[in-house]
């Protein structure tokens, strides 16, 4: 299932992914597909 809306990091309208750590909906550019986390959480880990 694809969710589309506004990315919570860059604010652009796009297909969104859910970060498994913080639950934030973010676009492909702001998401690490390998780890299923947003770029914010990925920086921390
Ligand atoms: Zn984004
Ligand atoms: Zn996150």
- Tens digit of each residue's pLDDT (9 = 90 or more) over 29-41: 999 999 999 999 9
Pick left, alpha or beta for residue 23 (phi over 0 → left; psi -120 to 50 → alpha; otherwise beta).
left
Query: Domain limits of the chain?
Result: 3-44
Give the pLDDT of residue 2: 80
16 CA to middle of ligand 1, Å? 8
22 CA to middle of ligand 1, Å? 15
- Please give the model's pTM, rounded to 2 decimal places: 0.85
How far apart are alpha carbons 12 and 44 in whole angstroms?
23
Q: Degrees (nearest 5) of the Cα angle 36, 41, 42?
A: 70
CB-based contact 2:18 (threshold 8 Å): no
Rounded to an integer, the average pLDDT of 17-21 is 97
């Amino acid at each position: 299932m694809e969710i589309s809306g506004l990315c919570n990091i860059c604010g652009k309208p796009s297909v969104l992914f859910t970060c498994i750590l913080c639950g934030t909906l973010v676009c492909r550019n702001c998401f690490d597909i390998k780890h299923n986390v947003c770029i914010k959480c990925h920086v921390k880990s």
